[in-house]
Structure 1
Amino acid sequence: MASVHKEFHVDATPDQVWDVLRDYGAVHERLVPGFVTDTRLDADTRTVTFADGTVVAERLVDLDPVSRRVAYTVVGGSLHPSHHHAWMQALPEAEGGTRFVWHTDVLPDALAASIAEFVEHGATVMRTALEAAATQSRGVHEVTR
Protein backbone atom coordinates (compact mmCIF):
# COMPACT_ATOMS: atom_id res chain seq x y z
CA MET A 1 0.00 0.00 0.00
CA ALA A 2 1.29 3.45 -0.87
CA SER A 3 0.99 6.39 1.48
CA VAL A 4 1.07 10.10 0.73
CA HIS A 5 1.79 12.30 3.72
CA LYS A 6 1.81 16.11 3.72
CA GLU A 7 2.33 18.50 6.63
CA PHE A 8 2.42 22.28 6.50
CA HIS A 9 2.17 25.30 8.78
CA VAL A 10 -0.95 27.48 8.75
CA ASP A 11 -0.90 30.95 10.26
CA ALA A 12 -4.19 30.42 12.10
CA THR A 13 -5.25 28.86 15.38
CA PRO A 14 -6.19 25.16 15.43
CA ASP A 15 -9.77 26.17 16.28
CA GLN A 16 -9.94 28.47 13.25
CA VAL A 17 -8.61 25.69 11.02
CA TRP A 18 -11.00 23.16 12.57
CA ASP A 19 -13.95 25.47 11.93
CA VAL A 20 -13.23 25.14 8.20
CA LEU A 21 -12.08 21.51 8.20
CA ARG A 22 -15.17 20.20 10.02
CA ASP A 23 -17.49 21.71 7.40
CA TYR A 24 -17.49 18.41 5.48
CA GLY A 25 -20.04 19.45 2.87
CA ALA A 26 -18.47 22.80 1.96
CA VAL A 27 -14.90 21.97 0.92
CA HIS A 28 -15.45 23.75 -2.42
CA GLU A 29 -16.36 26.97 -0.62
CA ARG A 30 -14.17 26.95 2.49
CA LEU A 31 -11.25 24.51 2.39
CA VAL A 32 -10.10 24.34 -1.24
CA PRO A 33 -12.09 26.84 -3.34
CA GLY A 34 -11.20 26.60 -7.00
CA PHE A 35 -9.36 23.30 -6.55
CA VAL A 36 -12.73 21.69 -5.78
CA THR A 37 -15.57 23.27 -7.75
CA ASP A 38 -18.57 21.53 -6.20
CA THR A 39 -19.50 19.37 -3.21
CA ARG A 40 -22.84 17.63 -2.72
CA LEU A 41 -23.55 16.05 0.64
CA ASP A 42 -25.94 13.10 1.02
CA ALA A 43 -26.02 11.74 4.58
CA ASP A 44 -22.42 10.68 5.35
CA THR A 45 -21.16 10.77 1.75
CA ARG A 46 -20.02 13.81 -0.20
CA THR A 47 -19.58 13.91 -3.96
CA VAL A 48 -16.62 16.13 -4.75
CA THR A 49 -15.95 17.61 -8.19
CA PHE A 50 -12.38 18.75 -8.75
CA ALA A 51 -11.36 21.52 -11.14
CA ASP A 52 -9.86 18.97 -13.54
CA GLY A 53 -13.24 17.19 -13.84
CA THR A 54 -12.46 14.28 -11.50
CA VAL A 55 -15.54 13.33 -9.46
CA VAL A 56 -15.11 11.33 -6.26
CA ALA A 57 -17.61 10.04 -3.69
CA GLU A 58 -16.11 10.18 -0.20
CA ARG A 59 -17.75 8.59 2.83
CA LEU A 60 -17.13 10.22 6.19
CA VAL A 61 -15.38 7.82 8.56
CA ASP A 62 -14.70 10.12 11.52
CA LEU A 63 -15.28 13.75 12.45
CA ASP A 64 -13.56 14.23 15.81
CA PRO A 65 -13.73 17.72 17.36
CA VAL A 66 -11.46 16.77 20.28
CA SER A 67 -8.52 15.83 18.05
CA ARG A 68 -9.66 18.19 15.25
CA ARG A 69 -9.48 15.31 12.78
CA VAL A 70 -11.61 14.29 9.83
CA ALA A 71 -11.23 10.91 8.10
CA TYR A 72 -12.87 9.72 4.89
CA THR A 73 -12.70 6.94 2.33
CA VAL A 74 -13.37 6.93 -1.41
CA VAL A 75 -16.44 4.84 -2.26
CA GLY A 76 -17.04 5.80 -5.88
CA GLY A 77 -16.52 8.22 -8.72
CA SER A 78 -14.09 8.54 -11.61
CA LEU A 79 -11.02 7.71 -9.50
CA HIS A 80 -10.75 3.93 -9.29
CA PRO A 81 -8.62 2.90 -6.32
CA SER A 82 -9.14 -0.48 -4.75
CA HIS A 83 -8.51 1.30 -1.45
CA HIS A 84 -8.33 5.01 -0.55
CA HIS A 85 -8.49 6.26 3.01
CA ALA A 86 -7.40 9.72 4.09
CA TRP A 87 -7.43 11.90 7.15
CA MET A 88 -6.69 15.54 7.91
CA GLN A 89 -5.89 17.02 11.29
CA ALA A 90 -5.27 20.47 12.76
CA LEU A 91 -2.60 20.33 15.48
CA PRO A 92 -1.35 23.22 17.64
CA GLU A 93 2.26 24.26 17.13
CA ALA A 94 4.40 25.35 20.08
CA GLU A 95 5.35 28.65 18.45
CA GLY A 96 1.75 29.40 17.45
CA GLY A 97 -0.35 28.57 14.46
CA THR A 98 -1.37 25.15 13.27
CA ARG A 99 0.40 22.11 11.91
CA PHE A 100 -1.94 20.77 9.21
CA VAL A 101 -1.50 17.05 8.55
CA TRP A 102 -2.98 15.27 5.53
CA HIS A 103 -2.37 11.54 5.19
CA THR A 104 -3.66 9.24 2.44
CA ASP A 105 -3.29 5.47 2.03
CA VAL A 106 -4.05 4.17 -1.46
CA LEU A 107 -4.05 0.97 -3.52
CA PRO A 108 -2.91 0.22 -6.12
CA ASP A 109 0.50 1.74 -5.53
CA ALA A 110 0.48 3.09 -9.10
CA LEU A 111 -2.05 5.76 -8.02
CA ALA A 112 0.33 7.24 -5.43
CA ALA A 113 2.02 9.64 -7.86
CA SER A 114 -1.24 11.17 -9.08
CA ILE A 115 -2.61 11.34 -5.51
CA ALA A 116 0.63 13.05 -4.40
CA GLU A 117 0.15 15.70 -7.14
CA PHE A 118 -3.45 16.28 -5.97
CA VAL A 119 -2.28 16.58 -2.36
CA GLU A 120 0.55 18.97 -3.21
CA HIS A 121 -1.69 21.29 -5.21
CA GLY A 122 -4.55 20.96 -2.72
CA ALA A 123 -2.26 21.80 0.22
CA THR A 124 -1.22 25.06 -1.43
CA VAL A 125 -4.86 26.05 -1.98
CA MET A 126 -5.78 24.94 1.57
CA ARG A 127 -3.09 27.02 3.24
CA THR A 128 -4.20 30.11 1.34
CA ALA A 129 -7.90 29.54 2.12
CA LEU A 130 -7.30 28.73 5.79
CA GLU A 131 -5.12 31.78 6.37
CA ALA A 132 -7.61 34.02 4.55
CA ALA A 133 -10.45 32.67 6.71
CA ALA A 134 -8.40 33.29 9.86
CA THR A 135 -7.58 36.83 8.77
CA GLN A 136 -11.24 37.48 8.04
CA SER A 137 -12.20 36.01 11.44
CA ARG A 138 -9.66 38.23 13.20
CA GLY A 139 -11.05 41.25 11.34
CA VAL A 140 -14.60 40.46 12.45
CA HIS A 141 -13.43 40.15 16.08
CA GLU A 142 -11.62 43.50 15.85
CA VAL A 143 -14.73 45.25 14.52
CA THR A 144 -16.99 43.83 17.22
CA ARG A 145 -14.77 44.88 20.11
Structure 2
Amino acid sequence: MASETVQIATKASPDFVWDAIRDIGALHTRLVPGFVVQTELEPGARIVTFGNGMIVREPIIALDEDRRRLVWSAEGAGLSHYNASVQVFATQGGSQVVWIADFLPDSASEQVKCMMQEGISALKTTMDKAAETS
Protein backbone atom coordinates (compact mmCIF):
# COMPACT_ATOMS: atom_id res chain seq x y z
CA MET A 1 0.00 0.00 0.00
CA ALA A 2 1.33 3.41 -0.94
CA SER A 3 1.48 6.24 1.55
CA GLU A 4 2.07 9.97 1.08
CA THR A 5 2.50 12.73 3.66
CA VAL A 6 2.43 16.48 3.09
CA GLN A 7 2.65 19.21 5.67
CA ILE A 8 2.80 22.97 5.95
CA ALA A 9 3.33 25.66 8.54
CA THR A 10 0.86 28.53 8.63
CA LYS A 11 0.63 31.76 10.61
CA ALA A 12 -3.00 30.98 11.47
CA SER A 13 -3.79 29.78 14.98
CA PRO A 14 -4.50 26.07 15.51
CA ASP A 15 -8.05 26.88 16.63
CA PHE A 16 -8.70 28.87 13.45
CA VAL A 17 -7.26 26.16 11.18
CA TRP A 18 -9.12 23.41 13.01
CA ASP A 19 -12.40 25.31 12.79
CA ALA A 20 -12.03 25.44 8.99
CA ILE A 21 -11.05 21.76 8.72
CA ARG A 22 -13.86 20.54 10.97
CA ASP A 23 -16.39 22.45 8.83
CA ILE A 24 -16.51 19.46 6.49
CA GLY A 25 -19.01 21.02 4.08
CA ALA A 26 -16.97 24.15 3.43
CA LEU A 27 -13.82 22.87 1.74
CA HIS A 28 -14.53 25.06 -1.29
CA THR A 29 -15.10 28.25 0.70
CA ARG A 30 -13.09 28.12 3.94
CA LEU A 31 -10.21 25.69 3.48
CA VAL A 32 -9.04 25.04 -0.08
CA PRO A 33 -10.98 27.30 -2.50
CA GLY A 34 -10.03 26.68 -6.10
CA PHE A 35 -8.55 23.26 -5.35
CA VAL A 36 -12.09 22.23 -4.37
CA VAL A 37 -14.91 24.04 -6.17
CA GLN A 38 -17.95 22.40 -4.57
CA THR A 39 -18.74 20.37 -1.46
CA GLU A 40 -22.11 18.73 -0.83
CA LEU A 41 -22.98 17.03 2.44
CA GLU A 42 -24.92 13.80 2.78
CA PRO A 43 -25.37 11.71 5.93
CA GLY A 44 -21.92 10.57 7.04
CA ALA A 45 -20.08 11.81 3.94
CA ARG A 46 -19.36 14.66 1.59
CA ILE A 47 -19.29 14.79 -2.20
CA VAL A 48 -16.26 16.79 -3.31
CA THR A 49 -15.78 18.37 -6.73
CA PHE A 50 -12.17 19.33 -7.40
CA GLY A 51 -10.98 22.15 -9.61
CA ASN A 52 -9.79 19.59 -12.18
CA GLY A 53 -13.37 18.26 -12.52
CA MET A 54 -12.86 15.05 -10.53
CA ILE A 55 -15.76 14.14 -8.20
CA VAL A 56 -15.17 11.92 -5.17
CA ARG A 57 -17.42 10.72 -2.35
CA GLU A 58 -15.64 11.03 0.99
CA PRO A 59 -17.13 9.13 3.93
CA ILE A 60 -16.16 10.84 7.19
CA ILE A 61 -14.57 8.28 9.54
CA ALA A 62 -13.71 10.38 12.60
CA LEU A 63 -13.67 13.97 13.77
CA ASP A 64 -11.54 14.19 16.93
CA GLU A 65 -11.95 17.60 18.55
CA ASP A 66 -9.35 16.99 21.28
CA ARG A 67 -6.60 15.96 18.86
CA ARG A 68 -7.76 18.34 16.07
CA ARG A 69 -7.79 15.39 13.67
CA LEU A 70 -10.14 14.52 10.80
CA VAL A 71 -10.13 11.08 9.16
CA TRP A 72 -11.92 10.25 5.90
CA SER A 73 -11.88 7.77 3.07
CA ALA A 74 -12.60 8.31 -0.61
CA GLU A 75 -14.57 6.46 -3.23
CA GLY A 76 -13.81 7.04 -6.89
CA ALA A 77 -10.90 8.56 -8.80
CA GLY A 78 -9.67 5.12 -9.87
CA LEU A 79 -8.52 4.16 -6.39
CA SER A 80 -9.44 0.82 -4.86
CA HIS A 81 -8.59 2.10 -1.35
CA TYR A 82 -8.02 5.56 0.13
CA ASN A 83 -7.86 6.52 3.78
CA ALA A 84 -6.52 9.85 4.99
CA SER A 85 -6.14 12.04 8.03
CA VAL A 86 -5.36 15.68 8.55
CA GLN A 87 -4.22 16.97 11.91
CA VAL A 88 -3.42 20.43 13.27
CA PHE A 89 -0.60 21.04 15.75
CA ALA A 90 0.20 24.25 17.63
CA THR A 91 3.57 25.84 16.86
CA GLN A 92 5.32 29.02 17.91
CA GLY A 93 3.45 31.71 16.01
CA GLY A 94 0.94 29.49 14.24
CA SER A 95 0.16 25.91 13.26
CA GLN A 96 1.56 22.85 11.56
CA VAL A 97 -0.90 20.89 9.38
CA VAL A 98 -0.08 17.27 8.52
CA TRP A 99 -2.04 15.31 5.88
CA ILE A 100 -1.35 11.57 5.53
CA ALA A 101 -2.96 9.32 2.90
CA ASP A 102 -2.74 5.55 2.41
CA PHE A 103 -4.07 4.21 -0.87
CA LEU A 104 -4.16 1.54 -3.54
CA PRO A 105 -3.08 0.94 -6.21
CA ASP A 106 0.53 1.91 -5.58
CA SER A 107 0.70 3.08 -9.20
CA ALA A 108 -1.47 6.08 -8.25
CA SER A 109 1.33 7.56 -6.12
CA GLU A 110 2.28 10.34 -8.52
CA GLN A 111 -1.34 11.43 -9.06
CA VAL A 112 -2.16 11.37 -5.34
CA LYS A 113 1.07 13.12 -4.36
CA CYS A 114 0.46 15.92 -6.90
CA MET A 115 -3.11 16.45 -5.69
CA MET A 116 -2.05 16.45 -2.04
CA GLN A 117 0.69 19.01 -2.73
CA GLU A 118 -1.79 21.20 -4.60
CA GLY A 119 -4.33 20.86 -1.79
CA ILE A 120 -1.94 21.61 1.06
CA SER A 121 -0.60 24.61 -0.87
CA ALA A 122 -4.16 25.96 -1.26
CA LEU A 123 -4.74 25.39 2.46
CA LYS A 124 -1.58 27.32 3.37
CA THR A 125 -2.51 30.23 1.09
CA THR A 126 -6.03 30.42 2.52
CA MET A 127 -4.93 30.15 6.17
CA ASP A 128 -2.04 32.61 5.83
CA LYS A 129 -4.32 35.15 4.13
CA ALA A 130 -6.91 34.75 6.88
CA ALA A 131 -4.24 35.18 9.56
CA GLU A 132 -3.08 38.43 7.97
CA THR A 133 -6.57 39.92 7.91
CA SER A 134 -7.57 38.94 11.44
TM-score after normalising by structure 1: 0.89
Q: Which of 106, 126, 130 is 1:129 aligned to?
A: 126
In structure 2, the residue matched to 1:73 is 73
Report the secondary structure of 1:87's partner residue: strand
Q: Which of 86, 107, 111 is 1:88 aligned to?
A: 86
Question: Which structure would you say has the larger Rg?
Answer: 1
Letter in 2 for 1:44: G
Residue 6 of structure 1 and its aligned partner are, at CA, apart by 0.7
Which segments of 5 or more consecutive residues in structure 1 lack a partner in the other structure? 139-145
Letter in 2 for 1:121: E
Residue 8 of structure 1 and its aligned partner are, at CA, apart by 1.1
- The whole-number CA distance in structure 2 between the counterparts of 1:59 and 1:129 is 24
- The whole-number CA distance in structure 1 between the counterparts of 2:44 and 2:28 is 17
Write out aligned runs for 1:34-45 (5 A): 34-45=34-45
Residue 131 of structure 1 and its aligned partner are, at CA, apart by 1.8
- The whole-number CA distance in structure 2 between the counterparts of 1:20 and 1:130 is 9
Which segments of 5 or more consecutive residues in structure 2 lack a partner in the other structure? none
Residue 135 of structure 1 and its aligned partner are, at CA, apart by 3.1
* Aligned structure 1 segments of 4 or more residues deviating by more than 3 angstroms: none
In structure 2, the residue matched to 1:5 is 5
TM-score after normalising by structure 2: 0.96
In structure 2, the residue matched to 1:99 is 96
Percent identical among aligned pairs is 38
Aligned-pair RMSD on alpha carbons?
1.0
Residue 69 of structure 1 and its aligned partner are, at CA, apart by 0.6
